[in-house]
Structure 1
């Protein structure tokens, strides 16, 4: 039995944050029905190339983007604009444990699919709403997207090269991180509400906003401002609170050095045959290294330029100093550690028996994650509406 075996999740969301949340619940054993628009389906079905190729090797109908966030679900097409479609969704929600939606604020109410409406028939319902700016506040009615919110939420202001350096300027993160984090926070809220329901017997609404999540995940950068009253700036690959904790150029390529404490710095100084660095009062403690980074980093950079990255990485590992390569996606997904951890999963799909997906990182000792279904074709499970749609998934 899976951890969430028997949990019924009605997924009315699309694109990334909501589907990421429901996919995680599906991995953990939940029975997830994904509702899609007839004909077009989830927006991300069209976000290619690349595509899952058909038998002729031509472009298929499933985008790689859609495949990354919709495994483990059934797809049912319902026209939400129609009275019949609204009734079908209300009936599904009446027997669901969780509803996940990312309508604009107020839109669900027009279809009778808002929390007050659905909870009248199903008081135990957990109803998770995901929007750009939340259900309240002056921007609540505004649409929000990951890229936009990364900018508004301050994340881009601390991402990218420092002013005055080549390529300087604010940058978005290379994946839609705000959407992903919102999906994960949604899971936490849903599971907390389910745990509380065990005591109270009633459900509640979970309100998630991309902007809120962006602010929450600024972590030390936000705390640096709130405590130190200094606005953080972009430092490229350097760290605002730790030195040396950044990329360095070896003779052939760059690599990452992540010295997290003073003893590791002493080991580094010994390895570089510069023991005086760890004995210098300016560099002995991390606070001093942060204050004098402009002096220390060039000294280290000169040392690292003398050998290839692979040589440095071998020496650093032997010395117990954290360091690593800067991998491409292809290199990262081939890392023996990820392979050993079962993070690359073969999930046969009707259009490609060799479909591979990145697995779920949650490792449970008794009720492990399972991958029972590939990402569904559009409307693949429409027939399940006949009889008991929440029956055997």
Structure 2
């Protein structure tokens, strides 16, 4: 086993934000900054289905935001420029940069969650959803194996830390085969994921392969793939953030959105009403191509970050102990599952949850304490890899906190 992985989450942004002045305009500079902060591993959506599992022409991919100003103050969606990218050339450039700078790459896919929403047309979205749900895990396995074939031909396969069939398998369209979402989908997904892992391994037995899970699904661990080579979890504890999501019905379309309360407690002056904030008509297909729902996107776009953070700080005391206990329990359960199967443990995302782009709860004093505790616990349980937090990446404001990232990464690497 190699040294510990200090992970920065480059997700799909390494190809969506390559325009002038954007964080991945210069891949070498992005790697240089990551190394300066103590990272040695990036985790990405490698767009495997698009590049190796469809018949689409990927030589000139037009990538953009969600249309107009929609999503421009929402984390991960604030793509400022429309760019044209040769998909395979960009992938090889990323891996060549990894080789130059001594990085390894965790290869994954977000294609059943949101990656296709950034293409200028809906062809990628239509292509991946056209694959029958029962065939999607195998299709991903085949595409990922072909991706590794390309890397091997270019002498770059040694940069692969491991391969994930897909990101957070239980909460995206990969779970369609089960007819449900979330923890209820885990048991039904198991045979499909195990089949996909076996299918990938038949072509590349030397490359570790797995699937990863949102949170740590305590109570459903028996449903995780028994043939996974790596145990990968995303411990987002939410806690006080769950209270906000629930009280403002951000993810529950069966309840009315509390518009007047949102104006008073969360939103900026001059915010439009929920129903008046939409992408341009020609771009509305994108709402079906991303897992983030309209209510949450609207609230993140129009929130006053000071109001948002104050709302969380005012209520955090009620949740502090429970959030710490949940995080500790999840880390212990994840470590126990990995130890029982003699596989390495990796935390690929975490720790609080999905916050607005300009919110600072996760990088402020409370969030930084949570990050420090989580990284220390990761080391304590012998994790192979962890991260400072999901927002510690070039496309988030937290990237500017160099000292925090360097300190936590150095502590984990010892």
Common fold by TM > 0.5: no
TM-score by length of 2: 0.28
TM-score, with normalisation over the residues of structure 1? 0.29
